[in-house]
A and B are shown apart, each in its own frame.
Chain A
Amino acid sequence: MSDTVIQVENLWKEYRLGAISHHTLSRDLQSWWARVRGKDDPNSPLASRSPSGAAATSDDRFWALRDVSFEIKKGDIFGIIGRNGAGKSTLLKVLSQVTNPTRGCVRYRGNIASLLEVGTGFHPELSGRENIFLNGAILGMSKADIRTKLDEIVAFAEVEKFLDTPVKRYSSGMYVRLAFAVAAHLEPDILIVDEVLAVGDAQFQQKCLGKMEDVSAKEGRTVLFVSHNMGAVLSLCNKGIVLSAGEISHLGAIQEVVSSYNGFLLNSELSVENCSRRGGSGGISITRIWITDARGRKTNSATSTEELTLNLEARVDQLYQQNQPVVVGFGVDSLHGQRLFTCISTRGKEITTGGERLAVRCTLPSLPLVNDKYWISASVSFHNDTLDYVEHCEYLEIAHDDASFTRGWEPGHGYVDVPYRFEVADV
């Protein structure tokens, strides 16, 4: 019991979608005046008033977390995974005291620092050095702590030369490096990390992941980590939970948790709307992704030598309807979220829009992958600007033609089947 550092007990969090108040005094007064005269509230949705007079009905309420309970032991790296809107961010917000739960309680031992974002409170006019102090203090460090770690932070962020330059003149990479460096040198007993690692270049991401591993392994700290990157979750975490619609659907060792999550995803209705992550600046939005075989029938499985087509349909806003050149990409990932390859339209025929719908096909004559399931992601971009990106919105199951190929195969061997030949050489 004593090595439990976080205990979450029956946590519920409710958000009201409708109007808890109307956010303007005049409308509240209007509602109040209507109530005083015994008339219907002009601002409440029709027929939504309960006999007690409360304006909010169960329809307006939305439980972002439902009865979530778990314990985390000292030294654990705890992964929290789930689809968009499953309640991950809400859970982190409650754990980091940004907002209070509606019911239930959370108990901690030790101090806690949360990184829901890097560079919170950075002021563009202040210099790098001043921002290190400001950001550190916001995250809970004392000035003396920061002073002793200043050199380390600066070295980690690789910004020695620009320490006295206002951060508004920093490149975005430098900015992120500095922000993460401050956070990485906090010494909390419990560190809460949201997908901040999705920023910065790959090399720096590796450095951050390494730093987090160090924090837990060498210094015995506890880390809570939310990510969509199953690869990162698998390599970092030892335990975890899957959240789905606000409830814990699986809790346990991380391998089980990730496979349960994948199983859950593959069995659920996959579509662009409930993909695992979506982003982009808008303008063109992907409406459907599907896979067809050589005869044009929709499918989710194929053998490694069969011809396959990846299809995309998108809705184009007015702005992009006039023959604009766009770039379409399809990504194929392993179930662990590792990117295997990407098909980008820049290598083929130029794609231009024309009208409010865009349909694009990408044909693969063969797909030499090992027997497994794979995620398909897709994106549409315009001059380096990603307009829409949907991650893991469809899956594909590959059965290798050559049965001998799967013999002796393990996940660590990789997924791509390159043709090769073995023979015994003359000695």
Chain B
Amino acid sequence: MKSDVKNADAGSWDKVIRARSGWFDIHPGELWRYRDLIGLFVWRDFVSIYKQTILGPLWYLIQPLLTTLVFTVIFGTVAHLPTDGLPPFLFYLSGVIAWKYFADCLITTSNTFVGNAHIFGKVYFPRLTVPVSVIISNLIAFGVQFLLFLAFFVYYWSTGSALHPQPALLLLPFLVLQMAVLGLGFGLIVSSLTTRYRDLTHLVGFGVQLWMFATPVVYPASSLPERWRWLMSWNPMAPVIEAFRYAFLGTGSINLQSWLISCASTACVLVAGIVLFSRMEKTFMDTV
């Protein structure tokens, strides 16, 4: 009798919290309802980072410029790494800003649980709002840096460098999305694991740096010996960087097959990340 009443009543509850809710307990609708919060997180990140700094948002430009300069001097002038016949500065700048977006997304996202434990322990909101806002605020930084790249691109083009923009430029939004999704996916996986293994927080920064050298950022994929090429097909970021360069500069060895593999693994990483993350978010307060 009692259970009848309950069944009849079950539909009218707005929310039910249960002990275990399976692997795929994900609510995209909830994320949408909290879109204002995402926007405010983005705003907070943007405002708070540069408050009380003299140069403010200029740091968005100084960082990649300095990195590119260092790369140009060390890898270009000192080590004489090939750049597929492109002006070294432009070659490194394109690699640096694309890689930086991915790496920033990954590293910041991977700190989601540990860095926000004090908020997560006190109030509920969809936890995914934090990584999503990270992706968006990094996108703003990427946008600014991309404009910087465009400025240099136009400068080099007008001074007669052999640059060949390709129709693949139309793929640019998709490439940016792929970088974001890859960074988000890996970041979600790492952040879920850091709730159990704190070692990972130390490893992430180092790992990402190593990964950069396994990706054609400071060298073109074409300069790799044939027997190492297979490595590129295991690295989902390699085709993205190569495609990014190919679209603007017209050099690089990108083939459709390796890019499709990279797209497929990107999707897998994202799904794995979200599943792991939403599983972790329910109990991580007990272990942090």
Contacts and interface: CB of A to CB of B under 8 A. Distances in A.
A109 B13 contact: yes
16 contacts: A12-B19, A25-B197, A97-B124, A98-B121, A99-B282, A100-B18, A106-B17, A108-B13, A112-B15, A125-B48, A125-B52, A137-B36, A138-B37, A138-B123, A141-B36, A143-B40
Interface of B: 5, 9, 12-21, 34, 36-37, 39-41, 43-44, 47-48, 51-52, 118-125, 196-200, 282-283, 285-287
Nearest to A137: B37
Interface stretch (A116-124, A228-236, A295-303): A116-124
7 A-B pairs with least C-beta separation: A97-B124, A137-B37, A100-B282, A25-B197, A106-B17, A107-B13, A143-B36
Contact of A102 (B13, B19, B48, B120): B19
Interface in A118-163: 120-121, 123, 125-126, 130, 133-134, 137-143
Contacts of B5: 1
A40 B17 CA distance: 39
A2 B282 contact: no
Contact of A99 (B12, B48, B283): B283
Contacts of A133: 40
A1 B9 contact: yes
Given A116-B123, A125-B52, A108 B15 contact: yes
Given A107-B15, A110-B14, A140 B197 contact: no
A114 interface: yes
Contacts of A94: 17
B94 to A, nearest CB: 33
Interface string A204-216: 0000000000000
Nearest to B38: A137
B283 A100 contact: yes
A366 interface: no
A96 interface: yes
A98 B120 contact: yes
A64 to B, nearest CB: 10
Given A24-B199, A98-B122, A100-B282, A111 B17 contact: no
Contacts of A2: 9, 12
A375 B14 CA distance: 43
Interface stretch (A15-23, A307-315, A399-407, A415-423): A15-23
Contacts of B19: 12, 100-105
A117 B125 CA distance: 15
Contacts of A97: 17, 124
Contacts of A120: 118-119, 122-123
Given A24-B198, A25-B197, A125-B48, A116 B40 contact: no
A2 B9 CA distance: 8
B14 A23 contact: no
A28 interface: yes
Which of A23, A139, A143 has the most chain B CB within a 10 Å cutoff?
A: A23
Given A120-B123, A130-B47, A100 B17 contact: yes
B15 A98 contact: no
A323 interface: no
Contacts of B199: 24-26
A93 B285 contact: yes
B16 A106 contact: yes
Contacts of A125: 47-48, 51-52
A172 to B, nearest CB: 18
Given A7-B13, A100-B20, A141-B36, 11 more contacts: A1-B9, A23-B196, A96-B123, A101-B17, A105-B16, A106-B17, A112-B15, A116-B122, A125-B48, A130-B44, A140-B125
A359 B61 CA distance: 65
Interface of A: 1-2, 7, 12, 15-16, 20-21, 23-26, 28, 93-94, 96-112, 114, 116-117, 120-121, 123, 125-126, 130, 133-134, 137-143, 166
Contacts of A137: 34, 36-37, 40
Contacts of B36: 137, 141-143
B111 to A, nearest CB: 16
Given A21-B196, A98-B120, A100-B283, A123 B44 contact: yes
Contacts of A106: 16-17
Nearest to A9: B6
A106 B13 CA distance: 10
Contacts of B34: 137, 140
A121 B15 contact: no
A98 B285 CA distance: 7
Nearest to A28: B197
B44 A134 contact: yes
Contacts of B283: 99-100
A112 B12 CA distance: 16
Given A100-B17, A108-B13, A126 B44 contact: yes
Contacts of B125: 138, 140
A116 B124 CA distance: 10
Which of A7, A137, A142 has the most chain B CB within a 10 Å cutoff?
A: A137
Nearest to B281: A100
A20 B287 contact: yes
A270 to B, nearest CB: 31
Given A109-B13, A125-B52, A137-B37, A114 B124 contact: yes
A105 B17 contact: yes
A109 to B, nearest CB: 5
Nearest to A64: B286
Contacts of A12: 19
A105 B16 CA distance: 7
Which of B16, B20, B48, B122 has the most chain A CB within a 10 Å cutoff?
A: B122
Contacts of A107: 13, 15-17
A99 B286 contact: yes
A370 to B, nearest CB: 42
A112 B18 CA distance: 16
Nearest to B10: A107
Contacts of B20: 100
A1 B123 CA distance: 28
A365 B77 CA distance: 91
Nearest to A112: B15
Nearest to B203: A25
Nearest to B5: A1
